[in-house]
Amino acid sequence: MSERKKDGKRTQAERREETRETLLAAACHLFGQQGYASTSLEEIAESCDMTIRPIYYHFGSKLGLFTAVHGLMELQALEALNSGSSVLAWEAFLKLCEDQAFRRITLEDGPNILGRAHWSSSQHFPWSGALARNDPGLQAAGHEQTEMCDRIARAAITEAAIAVIEHEHDICAHCEAAGLISRLLPTA
């Protein structure tokens, strides 16, 4: 962030960044509660005591704003999935999936609004090639097979988290999912 002016007032760049962050927070909240289709730019702007003009300035469109919010959620997923062994990462990801806004934006609306190709090819997915590394028969796989492995691994952890949440953390569902995830993904 830019340094403040000598008189203590915020610079134009600081004000722009603050506006952007305020819009992202409001959009995250509203997209998370109401979903993409039911949230208007006017609602987001109104919740920030702004007009929709700053949304267009910073994000270009409703889709641009949603893409930015989705990117923030993916960064949270990256942090969770990089939190240690597959068991620790699974627990961190499951905790993140308990948040309604994360689930709705990342797991429900994200694939539908941004397309499954965007969702499945995210560069934020940290277990790239996990299935290939755990299966000696796939270790020499070409790019296409590794990409397929990445998609399967991402889908597996996502569906496992949703299943556990839908079972209201039934201990049997939780243990079964954790066991399958630890066998599917790397342990280090």
Which CATH number does the domain housing residue 69 bear?
Answer: 1.10.357.10
Q: What is the rounded CA–CA span in Å between residue 86 and residue 178? A: 9
Does residue 34 sit within a domain?
Answer: yes
For range 50-71, the mean pLDDT? 96
- Asked whether residue 84 is domain-assigned, the answer is yes
| Residue 2 belongs to a domain | no
Higher per-residue pLDDT: 181 or 143: 181
Q: What is the sign of the dihedral through the CA atoms of 10, 11, 13 and 19?
A: positive
Whole-number average pLDDT of the chain: 80
Three-state DSSP class for residue 124: coil
Q: Evaluate whether residue 6 is within a structural domain.
A: no
Residue 113 has pLDDT above 50, yes or no: yes
Assess if residue 4 is contained within a domain: no
Establish if 153 belongs to a structural domain. yes
Where in the sequence is the domain holding 38, given as residue range(s)? 12-184
pLDDT tens profile 27-41: 999 999 999 999 999
pLDDT at res. 58? 96
- Number of structural domains (the chain) is 1
Q: Is the pLDDT of residue 150 over 80?
A: no
Look at residue 17 and tell me if it is in a domain: yes
